[in-house]
Structure 1
Amino acid sequence: MSNDQADPLVNRDTPIPVVSITNHDDPSAPRTPNAGDGSSKRLSASKLKEKLESLGDNIGKPDSPNRVSDRLFTMLLSQVLPSQDYDDHVQVKDRRSRQYVDRPSFSLPVMSGNFRRFNARIGVAFIFENRLIRLFSWRQPTQTLSFLFVYTFICVEPTLLVVLPLAACLFFIMVPAFLARHPPPPTHLPTDLYPLSGPPIAGARTIKPAPELSKDFFRNMRDLQNSMEDFSRLHDAVLAFVTPLTNFSNEALSSILYLILLFTSCLLFITAHLIPWRFVFLFLGHAVTISGHPFMQDLLISQTSTTLISEREHEARGFLLGLSKTDIELETTPETREVEIFELQYRALHDEQGEYEPQIFSPSPYAPLSPSRVAGDRPKGTPFFEDVQPPRGWRWSDKKWTLDLLSREWVEERCVTGVEVEMEGERWVTDLHYEALSESENGSGRKDQKKEKEKLKKRAVKEKEEREKEREVLRRAWEGSVPSRKGEWRRRRWVRGVERVPVTNTVE
């Protein structure tokens, strides 16, 4: 197959683009200078190519076109990429997907090469975009009217939609390819018949990527640049319109809109089959196409139309705001919770006659069998009551702390063992010294234990009896029938109410 008919698909309806190099020395210079602005230089694609090739000659050995383009795109990407790496967290790869694992990580040379390959082949998308613009802007009214007829047939009979891709393949791909192999002979006589028979007199037409640093290549770069700008503007416009209505910055307005959408969804779920969708799409398609006519465009952008649209939009927003204020009643009482703090006091184990001294206010009771206590860690907290702060996003609703008089309840809820609970007074929950209790119990029942130990010979039975004895000692210590020795730590619980802090929106 001959490549004489190979030609890249590029949008050539507009003039050849030029490259604008802005002088960044002046901070006040505009980002997109005009053609007559002295702060910028304008280079055509061919001149830029010569500059880059001369740059390679000055360095030493002349560079190939690929190396010149690599240098160009590396320079462009170095200006686009950030100077810092903001990806602090490494994403865990999904080992189940070999396709994801095998994909290369970010690399500047790979990015440059992929961009060049993408830019050389993206012309077909811009051709399609340009033809859509020409179609809906009524550049050739016959084409637009033909589109309306086809669209009308599809809306009236939607089953014709499956024929549309096949017809497009026939008339826009295969027929032009056949005409390229059987071109008409050069003649000025309109009566000559077109030679459809006989052998082909031209090579088959193929499509190739646009050569790098060619005019078509820079046309694609121009269209890609403009498409990115169009997408950015559309993205910002959609967000500016949708976000204030749906992000609950105005909770009443977003709530009424949520209810309207919910009611509409439920209604459509039931009655969607009753709506004549063919005529709805037919009307919408004709309305959109007719709105692109130059007369309609002049009418829509006139001062009267702009003012009327602004007034209607303002009225619609005012109606929604009034409806939200009338029917939506938001909860004004903030959410409340109760927080706790434990006052811990310490006394040395050997100082039985001494007084407990204040140590710390901790969020945990520092129970005898707590993990931090078993690990030998000191309790964490603050030494002063005034330093205790509410949780983040909350504020105090009570003026002061209140002592929890139901100490036994929180002890039982946490399954705290080995402590003595005061049912009256200051409600201290004090540790019990296990060794003292064991010795006291052993003194009263030493004879019985000796007899039992002489009879019990198996190790498993001994361990079982010891566990039962320990549980009995703790039970009797809880009931107060055995004299106990207080341990090192004691604590009591304080509570205080908090309420959630409402977040107010700041309008910039």
Structure 2
Amino acid sequence: MDETAGSIANRDEPIPVIQIPLNTDENAPPETEQQKLGRRERIKQEAEKLKGKFQNVSTQYKTTQGSMQERLFNTLLEQVFPAEADDDGTPKKDRRSRQYVDKPQFSLPVMSANFRRFNARIGIVFVFQNQMIRLFTWREPTHTLSFLAVYTLVCLQPALAPVVPLAALLFFVMIPSFLTRHPPPPVTNPSSSVDAAAAEQYAAYGYSGPAVAPAQRVKPAPEMSKDFFRNMRDLQNCMEDFSRVHDGAVAVVMPYTDFSNERLSSAVFLCLTALVSVAFLAAHLVPWRAILLMSGWAATAAGHPRAQEIIINAGSLAQLQLIYDRICVAGSEWVESDIVLDEPAEVREVEIFELQRLQKHSLGGDEGAVLEGEWEPWLFAPQPFAPTSPSRIAGARPVGTQFFEDVQPPTGWLWRDKKWTLDLGSREWVEERCVSAVEIETEGERWVYDLEIPDSKSKSATLAPPKSWEEGPSVSKKGEWRRRRWVRLVERKIVKVSPED
């Protein structure tokens, strides 16, 4: 099966399933407390053990055997996901002992059984997550203030950081477990806040005596129970949260880091390089304790309901959005002005002149007058073929190509524009070249016409045009050629030099 491009998955060896060697119930030494329990309690415990063994056997049977459809599906999956093999085709052998490490292939029954076992035991994570939410949302202000006091103490004295997990283990694990084994006597009157008899019982009660209650073990939630479905609900919500956080992080972070916009990613790379260099040299000068203390207090205070009302206010959000937009605009301007990936290619403007020739028709007679004919497309030439040009005076014919498509850029250059553009400033290029004996068309198609200079000795002088078209045919003073200028941008071809050169 083809691997999906862009996805993140483990395409190496499967993740090993670690088997922790523990003493089983059969090999475990008998507890001393069992001898003190009554016959009824021992029978009850043995019945629970036997019931658990039957459940384990049934679960293993369902996992290994399954229905015919599951076995067929597993066979199909084994064909789709073949076992890992070496280059010569032989299956890979794990040199480690299979007593401790096992790497099974994908199996739908195993996946289903593992999910049920995982869901039955994941409740402690959701309980911890819920407690953290209650802590940072100020459900119990005394708890939050106590946390801030401990956090402040650790920030001011970082050497006390190892004390925190040890104290948490002591106060949240050891003491509750001891109180479970040594519970205090029940209160005679739970409705009254102050009970003299209860106070006397608590005062007379000592924790140095023998345990009066069995130890409480953490057990997985039974299937089809409310706790099991609560875990499934929380797991479903956590998966949705992870998907949303992942998609949001990709949408926010990736445009700056994936070099889709090379200027922006190069600016981020430059800033990170500068920050790493500065941090490497001046990290010891930064007051990290004060920064961590203030940031922790600010983050915790932001979770207070009053602070949430101020932060989520429409005016505050609009102000934050305005500040963010200004920062983005300033950053974009800096990137566009200061970040230059490569030197821009040299750009020039090239020109070509479209030449057309007039087909004249003689009127006959002694005057030798001529009528205007049709203009015939002639050539596209690099020179305007002006009346006073040396080639024109020498009697040479214009040189060029007949079609626009045949015009090629200069050697070492590439076209930058897709098509030619008509130069509307016909007077400017005529004056720049000092072209004379021409008539300039400043509107319309911007043609520049030759003018015929009348010769008094010649009999074929052109007639003056009539005052109107009704008095006779129009007589032209224009010469044989007309031209107009077309322009197009070209850029210099970038020649990449190989390392061997």
Larger RCO (CA under 8 A, 6+ residues apart): 1
* Larger helix fraction of residues: 1
Using structure 2 for the length normalisation, give the TM-score: 0.49
Which structure has the larger Rg? 2
